Amino acid sequence: MKRLKWPSWMPVDPYIVALLGTVGLAALLPARGGAADVASGASTGAVALLFFLYGARLSTREAMDGLKHWRLHLTVLVCTFVAFPLLGLAAKGLVPHVLTPALYSGFLFLTLVPSTIQSSIAFTSIARGNVPAAICAGSFSSLAGILLTPLLAAALLGNSGGGFSAHSLGKIVLQLLVPFVAGQLLRRWVGGFLARHKKVLGYVDRGSILLVVYTAFSQGMVEGVWHQVTPLRLLALLGVEAVLLAAMLALSWYGAKRLGFPRGDRIAIQFAGSKKSLSAGLPMASVLFGAQASLAVLPLMLFHQMQLMVCAVIAKRRSRDAEEHGLAESVSEPPVAASRTAAGTGTRSG
């Protein structure tokens, strides 16, 4: 029997469908009482497992080799952790008339999340850009995000993020940093196994994140946080996110052009610098926001689907432009080891 494949004409990523189905399950059958305690414990373990796998998959040596292309990576990091948060802070003026305080906290959080790896690589390849640079840029962003995202959230979100105390910082260290460092230390022994079973472990990644989403949205249903959101507010949120995505796509493309990067590098910068990682953001939100995590991850989930659809169109258009004008990939000495860096971190959607 042939394995069923997701129809190529469907505009929605199948993993997004799975996420939405998980949200629907949490709305209909939220975990309560003892079941909620079990789900919360399993979710905590799933987050730790995810970051252990991130650490075990990332080759530190190859990531360091990628620093040869430091100008490109620095540009992506500035887009991800400076330009995005500044636009997020500027959106504060939309509260409370356009965005509720809770939705704004989630919106600001999405601007602090690291970039994607898989989808940045895929779109850069389709658009005939510098693929090795996209691999390294996404890898560095993910690595930096493990430290920068919690710190920026603590500085910019304050008490709206569930209260950043010594206890919450301890949770971040135990659930995110310790497993990641453990993965790095054990990579020598487990790296080969992970590489051989990358496909199976991809399902573990996605299943773990679905568990995190179910736990967060179940808690949100029990706490009644969804009464704060109306269809009109959701439409307003989508509009604000569309403006954010358009601004970052334009800034990353024309900013890279102004800095003198060749076409191939500009493509990598645009796709890596304008996107946010769902796979990194969801588990981080579950640690940082606690009971408010369900509303906090909603803007990120919507933005993620929007960026996939918009960037797919842009990538195909850039590919056609390359064919029509006879443009080859234009790169500036991509790192030799880049094509092997960070293989398999994150989910299929990034």
Q: Please state the domain count of the chain.
A: 1
Checking if the pLDDT of 35 tops 70, the result is yes
pLDDT digits (tens, 9 = 90+) for 124-155: 888 888 887 887 888 788 888 888 888 898 88
- CA 96, 102, 103, 109 torsion: positive or negative? positive
Is residue 298 pLDDT above 90, yes or no? Answer: no
Predicted confidence at residue 275, as pLDDT, reads 92
pLDDT at res. 331: 44
Q: Which of 262, 313, 306 is nearest to 75 (CA)?
A: 262
Q: What's 64's domain CATH number?
A: 1.20.1530.20
In-domain check, residue 338: no
Residue 15 within any structural domain of the chain: no
**Do the domain assignments include residue 342?**
no
198-227 residue pLDDT tens: 778 778 877 887 887 788 778 777 766 666
What is the percent of the chain with per-residue pLDDT over 70, rounded to a whole number?
Answer: 78
**CA-CA distance, 78 to 137, in Å (whole number)?**
11
- pLDDT in the model for residue 251: 97
Q: Is 271 a domain residue?
A: yes
Task: Check residue 166 and give its pLDDT.
Answer: 56
Q: Give pLDDT, residue 301.
A: 84
Q: Is-contact 127 137, C-beta < 8 A?
A: no
pLDDT of residue 308: 83
Residue 35 CA: distances (Å) to CA of 40, 49, 128, 283, 349 = 8, 21, 49, 20, 29
Helices (H), the chain: 14-28, 33-57, 60-65, 70-78, 84-90, 101-110, 118-126, 131-157, 166-172, 178-196, 198-223, 231-258, 263-273, 278-289, 293-325
Q: Which has more pLDDT, 227 or 164?
A: 227
CA distance 266 to 314: 13
| pLDDT greater than 80 at residue 165 | no
Determine how many CB atoms are found less than 10 A away from the CB of residue 296.
33
> Considering the domain boundaries, does residue 333 fall inside one?
no
Cis peptide before 11 (omega within 30 of 0): no
| Mean pLDDT, the chain, integer | 79
Give residues with Cβ within 8 angstroms of 250, minimum separation 6: none
pLDDT interval class at 67 (50, 70, 90): low
Name, of 9-18, 123-132, 171-180, 322-331, the range with top average pLDDT: 123-132
What pLDDT score does 5 carry?
A: 56
Residue 181: pLDDT above 80?
A: yes
Q: Is residue 125 part of a domain?
A: yes
DSSP 175-238: IIIHHHHHHHHHHHHHHHHHHHTHHHHHHHHHHHHHHHHHHHHHHHHHHTGGGG--HHHHHHHH
The pLDDT of residue 342 is: 39
Alpha-carbon span 72 to 77, nearest angstrom: 9
Asked if residue 331 is part of any domain, the answer here is no
Contact of 195 with 341, CB cutoff 8 Å: no
Band (pLDDT 50/70/90 cuts) for residue 110 is very high
In a domain, 14, yes or no: no
Give the pLDDT confidence score for residue 102 in this predicted structure.
85
Residue ranges making up the domain that contains 117 = 31-320
User: 337: pLDDT confidence band, cut at 50, 70 and 90?
Assistant: very low
Please check the confidence at residue 159 and state whether its pLDDT lies above 70: no
* Predicted confidence (pLDDT) at residue 338 exceeds the cutoff of 60: no
**CA–CA distance, 6 with 3 (Å, rounded to integer):** 10
Greater pLDDT, 283 or 236: 236
CA 48, CA 118: separation in Å to the nearest integer? 21
Task: Over range 17-29, report the average pLDDT.
Answer: 83
**Residue 151 — φ and ψ, nearest 5°?**
-70, -45
pLDDT of residue 64 exceeding 80: no
| Predicted local distance difference test score (pLDDT) of residue 348 | 45
